[in-house]
């Protein structure tokens, strides 16, 4: 038996149509994966940009301030910090108010402070309260200011969005599997009589499956490549239009999306072909004419 007789055509109209169909499904799936991971980065970014202001005693000298800053920077929960002197604070107030408060108060009412940003995993009210209790033990900290309601609101919204995104991701994963499975099954359905002929001449199940599986892997590989290229250039265009998105759309996300698209493209296509072929391999010759 020649190899040509037991293998479906490569790069024919049916193959190209299947490739385009699977590529579109993988683009949809890749987009969902992209949004899930981008939402995670965006939530971390929002948490890490919530300010906590530590108001400092006016009697602190430069050495004491530097020592306190070094102590805070060594803490595992600190993402970044910035020291704002009384003079810097006064300049900021002047810009915001359009007036100099020292002209009628005859002294600088602004307190020196350290603006603290926490790592995302610590940016919740329970963790912040423990951190503030620790920070307040330093006698040089006069007061601590932070927006408790804002943190609650951010965390609640992120929690809701995360649940919604996971549900959507699960739903679209199932839909993607179903669409790819239908595309593959239609492709194999058109070859059911070829499969039956090969069975009648004594070909083993593995011998019959082998060319279909090779073709399926090639189909999955090409479809995943097309989908990945489309997603890559689409995300790149998006980042060029909005440079600020570079903060949340990292190279790691793009790599994860590409890996997931290739994995889904190859694994789903392979599994669908393997199990769909099993149906026709177990089917009797008479049954083929009634489906």
Q: How far apart are CA 146 and CA 277, in angstroms?
A: 62
Alpha helices in 48-147 (DSSP H): 62-73, 86-97, 102-105, 125-135
Token readout for 101 is 């408060």
Contact criterion met (CB below 8 Å) for 82 and 115: yes
Taking the CB of residue 118, how many other CB atoms lie within 10 A of it? 25
- Strands 113-118 and 78-84: what pairing? antiparallel
Q: Which strands make up the sheet holding 113-118, listed edge to edge? A: 78-84, 113-118, 51-56, 141-146
How high is the pLDDT of residue 175?
Answer: 81
Q: Let me know if 55 is exposed, middle or buried by CB neighbors in 10 A (0-12, 13-18, 19+).
A: middle
Cβ within 8 Å of residue 138, ≥6 positions away: 68
Q: β-strands 141-146, 78-84: how paired?
A: unpaired
Distances (CA, A) of 90 to 56, 62, 127, 180: 15, 18, 31, 63
pLDDT tens track for 46-83? 888 888 888 888 888 888 888 888 888 888 888 888 88
**Alpha-carbon separation of residue 262 from 7, 57, 145, 153, 224 (angstroms):** 24, 58, 48, 37, 5
Nearest Cα neighbor of 266 from 278, 274, 255 is: 274
Residue found by looking up tokens 């239908």 in the block? 182
pLDDT at 171: 84
**pLDDT in the model for residue 3:** 44
**291/32 Cα distance (integer angstroms):** 36
Q: Which domains does the chain have, with CATH numbers?
A: 3-45+154-288 (no CATH), 51-146 (3.30.70.3040)
pTM for the whole structure: 0.68
Provide the pLDDT for residue 9: 52
Neighbour count for residue 287 (Cβ, 10 Å): 12
Packed helices 192-200 and 251-282: angle between N→C axes, nearest 10 degrees: 50
Low-confidence ranges of the chain (pLDDT < 70): 1-12, 105-106, 284-291
CA 141 – CA 116 distance, rounded (Å): 13
**C-alpha to C-alpha distance for 275 and 280, rounded to whole angstroms:** 9
Separation CA 27–CA 46 (nearest Å): 28
């Amino acid at each position: 038996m020649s190899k040509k007789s037991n293998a479906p055509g490569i790069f024919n109209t049916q193959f190209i149509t299947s490739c385009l169909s699977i590529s579109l499904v993988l683009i949809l799936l890749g987009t969902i994966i992209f949004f899930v991971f981008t939402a995670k980065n965006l939530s971390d970014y929002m948490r890490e940009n919530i300010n906590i202001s530590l108001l400092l005693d006016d009697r602190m000298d430069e050495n004491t301030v530097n020592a306190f800053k070094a102590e805070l920077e060594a803490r595992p929960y600190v993402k970044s910090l910035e020291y704002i002197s009384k003079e810097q604070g006064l300049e900021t107030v002047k810009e915001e108010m359009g007036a100099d408060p020292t002209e009628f108060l005859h002294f600088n009412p602004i307190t020196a402070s350290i603006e603290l940003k926490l790592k995302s995993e610590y940016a919740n009210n329970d963790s912040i309260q423990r951190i503030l209790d620790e920070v307040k033990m330093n006698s040089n900290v006069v007061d601590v200011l932070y927006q408790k309601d804002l943190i609650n609101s951010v965390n609640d919204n992120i929690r809701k969005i995360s649940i919604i995104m996971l549900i959507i991701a699960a739903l679209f994963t199932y839909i993607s599997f179903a669409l790819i499975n239908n595309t593959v099954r239609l492709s194999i359905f058109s070859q059911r009589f070829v499969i039956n002929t090969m069975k009648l001449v004594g070909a083993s199940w593995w011998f019959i499956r082998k060319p279909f599986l090779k073709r399926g892997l090639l189909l999955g590989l090409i479809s995943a490549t097309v989908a990945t290229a489309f997603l890559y250039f689409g995300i790149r265009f998006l980042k060029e239009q909005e440079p600020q998105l570079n903060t949340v759309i990292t190279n790691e996300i793009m790599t994860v999306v590409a890996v997931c698209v290739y994995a889904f493209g190859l694994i789903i296509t392979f599994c669908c072909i393997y199990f769909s072929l099993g149906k026709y391999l177990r089917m009797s010759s008479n049954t083929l004419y009634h489906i």
